[in-house]
Chains A and B, each alone.
Chain A
Amino acid sequence: METPLRTISDRRETTELRDHWSTAKEAQEPMVALLERKHPLLGSRVAIPRIVTVIRPPSFSLRTIVYGTRTLVGYRDLLYTLTLFRLTVRYKQSILGWIWAVLQPMAMMMIYTFVFSRVAKVRSEGVPYPLFVFSGLLPWIFFSGAVSNASHGLVGHANLLTKLHFPREIIPLSYVFAAIVDFAIACLILSGLMMYYRSPLSWKILYALPVITILIAFTSAISLFLSSIQVRFRDVAAALPVILQIGVFVTPVAYSLDSIPSRFQSLYLLNPVASLIENFRRVVIHGLTPDVTMLLNSGAITLCCLVLGYAYFKATEATMSDVV
């Protein structure tokens, strides 16, 4: 009685087996096809779901910021490469090379010390004047250097704009990032000066980090805005040196904030660079906590500038290659 049962089960097994075999064979076909799609040059190709891009006429919208930031993150390697490129190309074919990064701020410091301390006898809040002026010069040199380089960056790279597609903000931002490296070098000189003058060092120096962060953000905002205007109107190139020259005197670089009459101070501090320099000096040289009102104030203005500047940049970005 067992024999027929076994045959049935055997047959079922064989049919199952055959089914397995045939499905396996069918499944193999596309696998082979996929393997054969191998590009001899580029290696095997993995099927990735395709990204759909929709290109529309440009418009000014805050939504572009979100999309733009996401794209920018995808292109972070380009930002890194371009920043590195700025740093390596700048001192190529120069004898002193990187020493210039030290010499430039030092020379500025000496001139300011001579003019404002020896000739004009400016008060320096009980700190040696070279130290005082250098702590103000550092953020200012960073800001003015980055902005003036970045503003002509897009025009200087017209050949790239008309031939390649990549997020355009990377060009002005690469100048800002290169300036951060210079700023870091100058900070080393500052710490040397502080040791020389036996300036006390406190943990409050860590407050410099938020100050520097806001400074970088504000510099980026202005750089983005000016560089995209410069593409259309070359007036920026003519006006900017004058404005930056005035800027040195409306920021507390060479003098202290106290010397400004108190009724003008709120107007004076509308300039985020002024309050940031003042705060930088407070935390680094004086070892005090930063002035919170000034910090929040500059932070809020910076945020507004950054959002508007980036949105404006993104709105004009698409047609830059037509007008540059």
Chain B
Amino acid sequence: MFDIRLDHVSKRYYIQNGTRGRSMGWPRFPFRSKKEKWALRDVSFEVEEGESLGIIGNNGAGKSTLLKLLSRITAPTSGEITIRGHLSALIEVGSGFHPELTGRENIFLNGSMLGMTRSEIDRKVESIVEFAGVSEYIDVPVKRYSTGMYVRLGFSIAAHLDPDILLLDEVLAVGDIVFQVKCLDLIAQLREQGRTIVLISHDLGAIQRLCDRAILLHHGQVVMAGTPMSVVDHYQQMAIGEEETYHLNETIQKSAACLCISFSSTETDEAPRTGYPMFARFGFNAQVPLENVVFNVLIYWPSGYLCAQLTTAISDPQLRIAAGSGEIEFYCPVLEIQPGWYRVDISIESNGVYLDRHQRCAVLHVSPGKLVFGDFYMDTGWRMIPKMLDQEVSVD
């Protein structure tokens, strides 16, 4: 049984061109100078009861429009949306607050705007305050609140709506660590209870951790639907849109230059896979003999943060190389990073000075290998431990 069904839904917006070139003029009929833009075009999908669906896509792909349609802030231009059950959206929580009113008054105002009755709020107000952690400031006007308190109170009200379907839009990005843990726990609980969740996020990790299924939107259309891992992989590939190996031009002015970098799982040139060995071949050219050389390969998450480093500095800081071109091969017995698309920096250092450095010059595509959950694959061995107690009993 589905909880949400979109049936050929489209949404058109008009973009006002404005009065180009003339600041004043005769009034014109206001519909004329408008350009239309389809934020969503013929989108159809279903969300099953108890499923948690992730929606990803670039800016302007139509994610927010979709969320606005589902939360009934705006209506579709054509098509039909069916929603079974009570839906609550956490879009920019705390936006219904009035700065002059106290926290308590705002709970009543915002709560009733979200569809709660006064008696319902009366029952829940203590719990809302406690969850938000603002009990000391509850009778202070919210204009005196910090941003975190403001958002926490908003999230807490929305969380107490007890919805069948919950829409989340980047809400996890707010609040401190303690509050984020609270939110994640709440979402996990809601999932266990079989509530339906739709999560829209740029945090691909969150999509993979929290969702059962994912949808990729591109230019207002559903490009792909499937397991979070496959959709995220496709999205990253689309976003990177580059070759897997990247050969750099020789730079003559420098005393040493990086030439190329390539990754493979074995000598037979297969793509690297999680849990299997990986080789990285690094081609270089040195004009003169060099001492204290360090070769670096930096691997970055799609989010831009550093993920891992392959370096010669640890094992041999006093590496010497002769003049001429050569190749160095890194060997990882077990590739521990998860499937996905990573960007790569390569560099050559000598005596702590960069001789040549190329940022985001290549892409490392890790294919699914040994499938585990979590941020990393940990190479694991195991054995059965004989139960001593049982043996003693059996001897008797």
Contact = CB atoms under 8 A, between A and B. Distances in A.
Interface of A: 37, 39-42, 45, 50-58, 74-75, 77-78, 80-82, 85, 88-89, 92, 159-166, 233, 318-319, 321-322
Interface in B46-83: 68-69, 71-83
Contacts of B98: 85, 89
B159 A165 contact: no
4 interchain residue pairs of minimum CB distance = A318-B75, A50-B85, A78-B112, A55-B81
A166 B85 contact: no
B113 A41 contact: no
A54 B83 CA distance: 6
B109 A160 contact: no
B75 A57 contact: yes
Nearest to A163: B95
Contacts of B376: none
A159 B160 contact: no
Given A56-B75, A57-B76, A58-B75, A164 B113 contact: yes
Contacts of A55: 69, 72, 75-76, 80-83
Contacts of B160: 41-42
Contacts of B89: 165
A82 B83 CA distance: 28
B85 A51 contact: yes
A42 B186 CA distance: 11
B80 A52 contact: no
Nearest to A50: B85
Interface stretch (B114-122, B201-209, B281-289, B328-336): B114-122
Contacts of A57: 75-79
B74 A321 contact: yes
A233 B30 contact: yes
A39 B188 CA distance: 11
A151 B85 CA distance: 34
A164 B96 contact: yes
B360 interface: no
Interface residues of B, number: 51
Given A54-B81, A55-B72, A319-B75, A41 B114 contact: no
Contacts of B69: 55
A209 B92 CA distance: 44
Interface of B: 13, 30, 68-69, 71-87, 89, 91-92, 95-96, 98, 100-101, 105, 108-109, 112-118, 124, 127, 131, 159-160, 162, 164, 186, 189-190, 193-194
Given A39-B162, A41-B160, A78-B112, A165 B73 contact: yes
A165 B127 contact: no
A92 B83 contact: no
A81 B95 contact: no
A39 B189 contact: yes
Nearest to B95: A163
B84 A319 contact: no
Contacts of A92: 100
A318 B74 CA distance: 5
Contacts of A39: 162, 189-190, 193
A151 B222 CA distance: 40
Contacts of A40: 189
A162 B95 CA distance: 10
A166 B115 contact: yes
Contact of B68 (A51, A54, A56, A321): A321
Contacts of A89: 98, 100-101
Contacts of B78: 57
Nearest to B110: A164
Contacts of A165: 71-73, 89
Contact of B164 (A50, A54, A233): A50
Contact of A160 (B96, B190, B193): B96
14 contacts: A40-B189, A41-B159, A50-B84, A50-B86, A53-B87, A54-B82, A55-B83, A57-B77, A74-B115, A160-B113, A161-B73, A163-B96, A164-B73, A318-B72
A139 B31 CA distance: 38
Chain B CB count within 10 A is highest, among A45, A50, A75, for: A50
B91 A56 contact: no
Chain B CB count within 10 A is highest, among A40, A58, A165, for: A165
Contacts of A161: 73
A44 B81 CA distance: 30
B273 to A, nearest CB: 40
Contact of B115 (A75, A85, A159, A322): A75
Nearest to A81: B112
Given A55-B75, A81-B108, A82-B109, A41 B186 contact: yes
Given A55-B69, A85-B101, 19 more contacts: A39-B162, A40-B189, A50-B84, A53-B87, A54-B81, A55-B76, A56-B81, A57-B75, A75-B112, A75-B115, A77-B112, A81-B112, A81-B118, A160-B96, A163-B92, A163-B96, A164-B96, A164-B114, A165-B73
Given A319-B74, A322-B13, A37 B118 contact: no
A164 B193 CA distance: 26
A160 B92 CA distance: 11
B352 to A, nearest CB: 53
Contact of B131 (A41, A51, A58, A159): A41
Nearest to B182: A41
A162 B73 contact: yes
